Amino acid sequence: QGQCHFYNARHAAESAHLIIVNHALLLADVAVQNRALPEYNYLIVDEAHHLEAATTSGLGFAADRARLRRMLNEVGRVKRSGRVSGLLSEVIAHCQKANLPSEVMEQIELSVGKVGLASNQAMRQLNAFFDRLEEFVEEQKAGRRSQYTFRLRITSGTRVQPSWDGVEIAWDNANAPLVAVSAGLERLVGGLDNLSEFDIPDVEDLQAQILGAGRRLGDTVGQASRMITQPELSLIYWLESDSNHDRLSLHTAPLHVGPLVEEHLFHEKEAVILTSATLRTNFTFDFVRERLNAWEADELAVGSPFDYRNSTLLYLVDDIPEPQQQGYQKAVEQGMAALFKATGGRALALFTSYNQLRATLRAIKAPLAQAGITTQAQGEGVSRAQLLENLRTGKRRVLLGTRSFWEGVDVPGDPLSCLAIAKLPFSVPSDPVFAARSETFEQPFFEYAVPETILRFLQGFGRLIRTRTDRGVVAVFDKRLLTKSYGQLFLDSLPDPTVRQGPVALLPEAAAEWLSQGPLSQKQA
């Protein structure tokens, strides 16, 4: 048995009849030309509403200063002592063990030294490039400070700014020695090939390591170079700066995922099945078909096993301000506090931003505690799994969560009897991927933003009823469902719950009355 866990796992998978992987590994296999997984002919993709996002991530690119520095450190540099480090030192050590003739050894040392000096120069110029890039990002922020990640999409408009010229110049200065390092590593491998008459220990393993390091560096540098100086219309480019301002990264993603999925999955396999509880919007698969180029696929819509008419009350609050209007947040805080007191906790509240979550937590935690209800929230240092376990096993508990809690939450029965949705989960308009893809539609809001948000909303709605006997209340504090023309599209996509609309003041009573009926009987279910 070898020591490489990846190859051991791959060897085991080759003899398996069924292989189960996550979306990330599925798309990573596509990215490396099917070298990660054994060959397979049939594919079932569960939670297929994530396939576009998984493909975007899996076939995208990201790099930062630390990643490129690690690559150069792996290769090695010339130290102040004149010695080399990293793989370059391994080349010297292996060749010394072979007792090569002095003139041959001198040539090897000369070649290794050239790569090491190029690596030194690449490191200096790389730091200068990222310093310049950070200055550019700070200029674009225009003094704005945020506790969240800052994303800056790089468009044709960005590239004509005078300050972008400095970024391109800094990259050109870094690119030349980076390319020299990658090319030098290839020459080293060729040079070792020419020494086959000598008994250099483990030379093939050494060559494989050098080739791997060179290709990884070359691929990364090539991607970054295309982003900075040779952009392609089929790709989305952006810069990302984290909230602590200590990490700036380059990002690339495909603009259109559908052709890639069609080429690398649909056309490569004998059969592909996409399955999910949320693939349809307004009773059709058209949105998913369009996003994934799945127009030729057969379709099957299977009804829900749950009786939503009898199990679920959907209460639409109709008398509070709309999001972005004055008084909205105060109404959400007061409405949720009263609702959770009436339900005795047993609730999950879903938000679209940490800002709103934290503001709501500050407002409702103490009043609920006085009523004997414990409130916990995502982002307080407790793991997601532990938060859900606390809700599942505790009494009179409320959990507040953002995007990651809109799906994958499975708390059946009484511990989760109330679901509160603060706001419709629209994407942030300035998100680089969302913004770029929106531009490909004639009516981006109705053709892209609304159906995408409906699928996300359905995932959130689905957190409540997990078994045939569950009963619960979903309260939506976003009255755009009632006041906007697209609201009915959301409601029409739901699995036929009992729907009421009314003032926030009557919500607690309506929820308590609905839940007082207890779980559905086996006969009802």
Residues 223 and 329 reside in one and the same domain: no
Q: Is there a single domain that holds both residue 140 and residue 278? A: no
To 10 degrees, the CA torsion angle through 248, 250, 255, 256? -110
What is the separation, in whole angstroms, between the first and last Cα of the chain?
52
Beta bridge partners of 227: none
**What's the domain count of the chain?**
3
> Do the domain assignments include residue 297?
no
Dihedral sign, CA of 64, 68, 69, 70?
positive
In a domain, 419, yes or no: yes
In terms of domains, do 453 and 494 share one? yes
> Does residue 211 sit in the same domain as residue 284?
no
If asked whether residues 263 and 342 sit together in one domain, one would say: no
* Nearest by Cα to 253 from 237, 264, 233: 237
CB-side exposure of 283: number of CA atoms within 13 Å?
5
Are 280 and 248 part of one and the same domain?
no
Q: In what order do the strands lie in the sheet with 347-350?
A: 374-377, 397-401, 347-350, 418-421, 472-476, 312-317, 498-502
Q: What is the pLDDT of residue 1?
A: 45
- pLDDT, position 145: 66
Asked if residue 189 belongs to a domain, the reply is: yes
Does 298 map to a domain?
no
Q: What is the pLDDT of residue 516?
A: 93
Q: How far is CA 400 from CA 233, 375, 479, in A?
A: 40, 8, 20
What tokens were used for 84? Answer: 């080399």
Is the same domain home to 86 and 198? Answer: yes
Range of the domain at 279: 5-59+257-292
Residue 323 within a domain: yes
CA distance linking residue 442 with residue 445, whole number of Å: 9
**CATH number of the domain where residue 350 is located:** 3.40.50.300
Could you tell me if residue 524 is inside a domain?
no
41 and 66 belong to one structural domain: no
Ranges under pLDDT 50 in the chain: 1-2
- 324 with 409, same domain? yes
User: Is 302 a domain residue?
Assistant: no
> Is residue 484 assigned to a domain?
yes
- Does one domain contain both 127 and 52? no
Residues 392 and 475 in one domain: yes
Same domain, 402 and 416: yes
